[in-house]
Structures are given as C-alpha cells and as structure tokens.
DNA sequence: TTTTGAGTTGTTCGA
DNA sequence: GTCGAACAACTCAAA
C-alpha cells in the first residue's frame, strides 16, 4: 500500500483522533503514515505571540510522540500538501473537518490541487460538527438553549481508539520548529497532548465537583483552563464529555454545567458556520446602526482599557491577567468586555481584536460571538438594559479581593470593603493607582440611550 | 398559521 | 443586608 498522509491542523494529538485512525487504515498493514504540519503564513502571520508559542509547544510534543516523524513545512497548503504527496507517493490525504471561515476555503483549494488523490475529512474538533444540528423547520438555531437541548438529545460519539504502533514514515525532509516567540514575561500554560491530559485530570479530580458555583469566582481559579487545549485540539471535547459523564452519578449538576460549556463552544462554531460574515459584522443586522466613539479621545480610553489602568479594579485586574497569562477568567472577560462597549462606548470589534491577539486560546467563533453577546449585537435576545456594573461584579464575585489584589498589587493594602471602589477608601487612592477614568452610572445612561436610539430607528 | 413559553452569566429600587 | 419587582418589549422555538 502507498503511504497515507495525515495533515494535522487544530487537532494536535494522537488519542481520540478519527482522521488519524482513517489514515492508519488507509495505509493498511504495510503502508506508512506521513504526519504533516503546514505553517501557513495566512494563519501564522496574524497570530499573537502566545498562540504561536503554544502551537510551537504542541508541535514539539507531537514530534516527540511520533519519534521525530512529524514533517513541518512552511507555505501555502495548496502548494505544500500536493508537493508532499508527490515526494512521498502518498495515496490519500487525511484531515479533521475544518469548519472555520478560512479553513473551509483553504481545504477546498487543497482538494482541487490534489486532483485525483483523495482528500478525506474525518471527524471535526467539535462534539457535534457545525451545520449538523438544525431546527425542525430545517433552519439553524439562533438561541443557545434549544441548540443545547438538541445537542444533548442527539448525543456524542464515543472516543476513537488511539492507534498503537503506527508505522510513521521516516526520512521525509522537514523544517525546524517555528521560532520561539518573545513573550515579554507572559507565563504560558504547558502545551501538548500530555500537558492537556494533566490539566484535564487535575480539573476532573479536584475542581469539577465545585464547578457549578466556583467557576464564577475568579479568585478561586476554579475553571477548567482547557480552552487553549480545545483550541489546538490536544484534547477533543468528545473525550472530555465521555470522561465527565463517568462522574455524572455523583456530580450531576457540575457535569451538566461543564458539558454546557462544551456545547457553547459548539454553538458558536455552528453560528459562524452558517453566518461566516458574523466574524466581522453584527449577528443582529439592526445593530449596524449602533454608534461607537472614535478619534483621539476614544483611542486614549482604549489604551487605558488595554493597559489595565481604568481605575476600576476588576477591569484592570482582568486586563493585567491577559498580559500576565495570555488568559482571562471567563466572568472577567464579560466584565472587561462590557466595560469597553458600555462604559467606554467603543466598538466591540476593537476589543475582540485585542483579545484575539493576546489570548493563548483565541478562537474566532467563541471570541467574536462572546463579544457580540456582551455587546448586545449577537445571538442572545438579551435585555438591552443588562449593563455590568464593574464595582458590583467585583463585590459579588471577588468579595475578598483575592483576584484584584493578585493582578493589581497597588491594591494590596486597601481593606476588603473598599477594594472594588478604592476611590472611596478613607485613606484615599493607593499610591500609583488611577481614579476611575469614567463614571459608571453616567456612562450606563449614555449606553442605554444609544441602544434606545437603535431600537427607535 | 397561531399561540405559547422562554430567553447564560444584570442592576436598581423600595419595602 | 435581603428580597422581589420592574426594567420593555421582542424574537425564537416548538407545539
């Protein structure tokens, strides 16, 4: 049999990998498998340093796991992949289905360039492949809850077996790993499949039990921390789903909440699959009329937000966590996003772009639609008057200030009861910490007026 | 086609 | 401090 080529993209693992299983089967008993990763300038170029570094770590891990067999090539996949097929004499190319805006076009181009060589898509990075779940009338879901009901009713496949003793092709010329990135002091999560398994095992054993409530407390660090692994496919959500279900007897509520988060990921991927333009445009077309501030003054407010010096502790802590860990706690993402859009009156796309550039887990579907949800332009028919109050959110979810003190050391000595509104502290603002750059109550009214204007239009 | 129930994550006010 | 009601109507999903 001729070799089979497995082209890794956002599925950088060997376990529970249906496309890899398909490649091994295609190679038969005596054929080899050629593991390939293409460094595509169109994806690599726009990625921020944290994502590049994490991807690099995943490739290093994959190379180790395959005994050094992974072939790395840079360039346009529509040229690189057919070249490799010619070089190796591969009889088929195997991939996981990519539902992304760019990915599906790229794959179509590669498939055309391959001519008669089969381009085989097996599995996808989701529990349910985007586009598969439709309402009874045949149209896509626009609301999370009904989508989640349908997702749970449909069920998820069992994990695919990990192929053992794969005959990896040897001696195919490869480039080195892509260059290490200058992270400017950002502390990164460990990359690769084994690291992902470790994070998952720890979460499953230690934090899943309390997940339903503790996940909202940023100071407790009770979330799964699996987002980067899901983004790069070092873990598959199907694996997590199956292994979480094993605990459902004792921890039904926690497991349901956790699976609910996996479904959110699938939901937003599904939304983007049906409406690719919503990576840039409001999901709700009416919201195109929304007015956002621009100009030098707006730029200065954006800079204060981006650098974590707004004078609102929970906002500043969140943005400093973004720089410190290339990651932000989920609830705090909502708070800082709400602040940008509703207190500073800036376009959600500016914030989404900044997140995407700085997060290690930056995923187009989840990022853009998470922002759209907060901005009130997205899928959730949310009450327009839902405006996060950064002080109240801080007091409610970080009552002892553990989170804000971790990231904003200037607040270390401010007593708990003032830590989310240090400008009211009897001793005044601590040295080096700014006064609030805007008045929340005032800006809330401005935001509500602007939403009202869109509704009236 | 019509109807009905529901919609991730909120805030403020007044009792 | 705690609690329920009001916020204001609209869209979506499914019967």
- Here the CATH number for the domain that contains residue A347 is 1.10.579.10
Residues 6+ apart with CB under 8 A from A280: A349, A368
pLDDT of residue A455: 78
Q: Which nucleotide is nearest to A260 (CA to C1')?
A: B8
Is strand C less than 7 A from the beta carbon of A384?
yes
- Could you tell me the two tokens for A140? 């896509």
Band the pLDDT of A383: cuts 50, 70, 90. Answer: low
Q: Which nucleotide is nearest to A134 (CA to C1')?
A: C13
pLDDT of residue A251: 85
3-state per-residue secondary structure call for chain A: CCCEEEEECCCCCCCCCHHHHHHHHHHCCCCCEEEEEEECHHHHCCCCHHHHHHHHHHHHHHHHHCCCCCEEEECCHHHHHHHHHHHHCCCEEEECCCCCHHHHHHHHHHHHHHCCCCEEECCCCCCCCCCCCCCCCCCCCCCHHHHHHHHHHHCCCCCCCCCCCCCECCCCCCCCCCCCCCCCCCCCCCCCHHHHHHHHHHHHHHHCCCHHHHCCCHHHCCCCCCHHHHHHCCCCHHHHHHHHHCCCCCCHHHHHHHHHHHHHHHHHHHHHHHCHHHHCCCCCHHHHHCCCCCCHHHHHHHHHHHHCCCCCHHHHHHHHHHHHHCCCCHHHHHHHHHHHHHHCCCCHHHHHHHHHHHCCCCCHHHHHHHHHHHHCCCCCCCCCCCCCCHHHHHHHHCCCCHHHHHHCHHHCCCCHHHCCCHHHCCCCCCCCCCCCCCCHHHHHHHHHHHHHHHHHC
pLDDT of residue A166: 95
Give the closest residue to A342 by CA, choosing from A236, A441, A263: A441
Host domain of residue A440: 285-452
Residue pLDDT, tens place only, A179-198: 999 999 999 999 999 999 99
CATH number of the domain at A100, please.
3.40.50.620
Residue pLDDT, tens place only, A362-382: 999 999 999 999 998 888 766
Residue A452 pLDDT greater than 90, yes or no: no
CA of A204 vs C1' of C1, distance in Å? 36
Band the pLDDT of A445: cuts 50, 70, 90. Answer: confident
Q: Which residue is nearest to nucleotide B7 (CA to C1')?
A: A381
CA of A307 vs C1' of B11, distance in Å? 27
CA of A67 vs C1' of B8, distance in Å? 44
Q: Which residue is nearest to nucleotide C13 (CA to C1')?
A: A146
Stated pTM of the model: 0.96
**CA–CA distances in Å: residue A297 to residues A183, A294, A344, A443:** 29, 7, 10, 15
Compute φ and ψ for A94, nearest 5 degrees: -115, 135
If asked whether residues A345 and A431 sit together in one domain, one would say yes
Q: What is the mean pLDDT of residues A350-356?
A: 96
Last residue of a domain, one of A249, A274, A299: A274
If asked whether residues A351 and A425 sit together in one domain, one would say yes
pLDDT of residue A382: 63
Q: What is the mean pLDDT of residues A263-291?
A: 92
Instruction: Count structural domains, chain A.
Output: 3
The answer as to whether A167 is a domain residue is no
Q: Which nucleotides of C are covered by protein (CB under 7 A)?
A: 7-15
Last residue of a domain, one of A124, A152, A183: A124
Q: Which nucleotide is nearest to A146 (CA to C1')?
A: C13
The answer as to whether A292 is a domain residue is yes
CATH number of the domain at A248, please.
1.25.40.80
The answer as to whether A179 is a domain residue is no
Q: Which nucleotide is nearest to A143 (CA to C1')?
A: C12
Band the pLDDT of A336: cuts 50, 70, 90. Answer: very high
The answer as to whether A168 is a domain residue is no
Residue A289 pLDDT greater than 90, yes or no: no
If asked whether residues A29 and A110 sit together in one domain, one would say yes
Q: Please report where in the chains the tokens 């699976």 appear, as a residue.
A: A259
Indicate the average pLDDT of chain A: 94
The answer as to whether A230 is a domain residue is yes
If asked whether residues A252 and A306 sit together in one domain, one would say no
Range name among A7-21, A191-205, A283-297 with the lowest pLDDT average: A283-297
If asked whether residues A109 and A205 sit together in one domain, one would say no
Band the pLDDT of A327: cuts 50, 70, 90. Answer: very high
CA A286 from chain centre, in angstroms, equals 27
pLDDT of residue A381: 63
The answer as to whether A389 is a domain residue is yes
Is strand C less than 7 A from the beta carbon of A73?
no
Is strand C less than 7 A from the beta carbon of A180?
no
Band the pLDDT of A74: cuts 50, 70, 90. Answer: very high
Residue A250 pLDDT greater than 90, yes or no: no
If asked whether residues A118 and A9 sit together in one domain, one would say yes
If asked whether residues A311 and A439 sit together in one domain, one would say yes
Q: What is the mean pLDDT of residues A221-236?
A: 96
Q: What is the mean pLDDT of residues A87-92?
A: 98
Give the closest residue to A353 by CA, choosing from A343, A367, A366, A372: A367
Task: Name the percent of chain A lying above pLDDT 70.
Answer: 99
């Amino acid at each position: 049999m001729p070799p089979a080529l497995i082209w890794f993209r956002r599925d950088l693992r060997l376990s529970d990998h249906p496309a890899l299983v398909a490649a091994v089967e295609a190679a038969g008993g005596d054929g080899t498998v050629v593991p390939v990763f293409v460094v595509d300038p169109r994806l690599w170029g726009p990625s921020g340093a944290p994502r590049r570094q994490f991807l690099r770590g995943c490739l290093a891990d994959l190379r180790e796991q395959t005994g050094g067999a992974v072939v790395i090539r840079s360039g346009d996949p529509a040229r690189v992949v057919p070249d490799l097929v010619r070089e190796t004499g591969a009889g088929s190319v195997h991939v996981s289905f990519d539902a992304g805006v760019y990915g599906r076009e790229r794959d179509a181009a590669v498939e055309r360039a391959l001519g008669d060589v089969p381009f085989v898509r097996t599995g996808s990075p989701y529990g349910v492949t985007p586009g598969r779940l439709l309402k009874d009338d045949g149209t896509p879901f626009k609301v999370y809850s009904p989508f989640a009901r349908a997702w749970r009713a449909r069920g998820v496949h069992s994990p695919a077996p990990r192929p053992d003793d794969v005959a990896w092709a040897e001696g195919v010329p490869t480039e080195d790993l892509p260059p290490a990135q200058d992270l400017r002091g950002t502390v990164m999560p460990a990359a690769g499949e084994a690291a992902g398994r470790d994070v998952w095992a720890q979460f499953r054993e230690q934090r899943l039990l309390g997940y339903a409530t503790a996940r909202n407390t940023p100071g407790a660090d009770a979330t799964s921390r699996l987002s980067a692994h899901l983004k790069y496919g070092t873990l598959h959500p199907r694996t997590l789903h199956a292994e979480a279900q094993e605990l459902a007897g004792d921890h039904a509520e926690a497991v349901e909440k956790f699976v609910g988060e996996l479904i959110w990921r699938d939901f937003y991927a599904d939304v983007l699959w049906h409406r690719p333009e919503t990576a840039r445009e409001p999901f709700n077309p009416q919201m195109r009329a929304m007015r956002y501030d621009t100009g030098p003054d707006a730029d200065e407010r954006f800079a204060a937000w981006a650098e974590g010096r707004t004078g609102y502790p929970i906002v500043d802590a969140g943005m400093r966590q973004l720089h410190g860990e290339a990651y932000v706690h989920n609830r705090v993402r909502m708070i800082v996003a709400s602040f940008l859009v509703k207190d500073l009156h800036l376009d959600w796309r500016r914030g989404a772009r900044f997140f995407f550039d700085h997060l290690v887990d930056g995923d187009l579907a989840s990022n853009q639609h998470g922002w759209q949800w907060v901005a009130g332009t997205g899928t959730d028919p949310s009450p327009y008057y839902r405006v996060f109050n950064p002080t109240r959110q801080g007091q409610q979810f970080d009552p002892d200030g553990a989170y804000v003190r971790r990231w904003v050391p200037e607040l270390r000595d401010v007593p708990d009861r003032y830590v989310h509104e240090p400008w009211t502290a009897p001793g005044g603002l601590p040295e080096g910490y700014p006064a609030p750059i805007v008045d929340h109550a005032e800006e809330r009214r401005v935001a509500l007026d602007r939403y009202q204007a869109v509704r009236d239009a």
